[in-house]
Homo-oligomer: A and B are copies of this chain.
Amino acid sequence: MTEFLPLKDAIAKHVADGDCLALEGFTHLIPFAAGHELIRQGRKDLHLARMTPDLVYDQLIGVGAARKLTFSWGGNPGVGSLHRLRDAVENGWPCALEIDEHSHAAMAVGYRAGAARLPFGMLRGYIGTDLPARNPRIRHVTCPYTGENIATVPAVNPDVTILHAQRADRHGNVAIDGIVGAAREAALAAAKLLVTVEQIVDELPPAMNNIVLPAFTVTAVSQVPGGAWPSYAHGHYARDNDFYLRWDAIARDRGGFTAWIDRHVRATRDHRGFLASLREAA
């Protein structure tokens, strides 16, 4: 049965130091509130998987919570670099970060293999690139019919996947509307699935063929309005593009970054407090 828990309790109960975590959501529905709660609770030694690390992983990497990153594109979309990710890779600050680097297509089949509990995924990919020479996890199989050489990646099976969604019903069924990225695959690939939602409703809007994660695939639901900010929740609030721009300045400097995290994440009790502290600062 799906548990309904405050986010704080969901993270405390279900995420352990050393876990492999996937916080997914492609531009849309990035679970920032959950990322901040991981920082508040001081989780460490995490293996973070995510196609596009985005600001949420820049923050986790910047506080030294991550030992390893599996990813396929690590930038601030439309802005530039993730400075905390760069500082970790270029200078090992605040700690060394092991890099497991893929292409989007390969991450996608890795999640999909994980969801299907196959040990690997395959693609006609990694052609004309130096990546396989740098990542020993990229291998090949021979097609048993044509003899072709097909690239493979290991299945991605997070200990915990965390998503943000618009709605859950009272059974724990979770519905996602709009851009889904690899959220469905990452969700079904995980041993545990935590979801923060904008709303808990009696009945989900009718959506026969939409993206729904059935309750029995969902470990815990936490209602966290605004939980995807500064990314967005289709139908609820827009992406805060300004914040993405402002982040560039905040994260460029170690001290500035740490001060921001201390003030807005570590010194606040929860996501409501976090948002309130930003409003005060504005």
Which A residues are within 8 Å of any B CB, using their own CB? 116-120, 122-124, 137, 139-146, 148, 150, 152, 154, 176-178, 180, 207-211
A143 contacts across to B, CB distance below 8 A: 119-120
* Given A209-B211, A210-B209, A120 contacting B140 (CB threshold 8 A): no
Q: Which 10 A-B pairs have the closest CB atoms?
A: A139-B144, A119-B143, A119-B146, A209-B210, A145-B154, A141-B141, A209-B211, A144-B152, A120-B143, A120-B145
Partner of A180, one of B137, B141, B178, B209: B209
For the complex, what is the distance from the CA of A204 to the CA of B273, rounded to whole Å?
A: 43
Partner of A150, one of B119, B139, B180, B208: B119
Q: Is the CB of A145 within 8 A of B150?
A: no
A120, A176, A209: most-surrounded residue (chain B CB, <10 A): A209
Give 21 A-B contacts (CB < 8 Å), ordered by A residue.
A117-B124, A118-B122, A118-B123, A118-B124, A118-B150, A119-B143, A119-B145, A119-B148, A119-B150, A120-B143, A120-B146, A137-B145, A139-B144, A144-B152, A145-B152, A178-B208, A178-B209, A207-B209, A209-B210, A209-B211, A210-B210
Q: Is the CB of A140 within 8 A of B150?
A: no
A122 contacts across to B, CB distance below 8 A: 118, 122
CB distance from A157 to the nearest CB of B (A): 12
Closest B residue to A117 by beta carbon equals B124
For the complex, what is the distance from the CA of A137 to the CA of B143, rounded to whole Å?
A: 12
For the complex, what is the distance from the CA of A24 to the CA of B247, rounded to whole Å?
A: 50
For the complex, what is the distance from the CA of A124 to the CA of B117, rounded to whole Å?
A: 9
Partner of A144, one of B120, B144, B180, B209: B120
For the complex, what is the distance from the CA of A124 to the CA of B30, rounded to whole Å?
A: 32
For the complex, what is the distance from the CA of A178 to the CA of B208, rounded to whole Å?
A: 6
Closest B residue to A176 by beta carbon equals B209
* Given A144-B139, A154-B145, A208 contacting B177 (CB threshold 8 A): yes
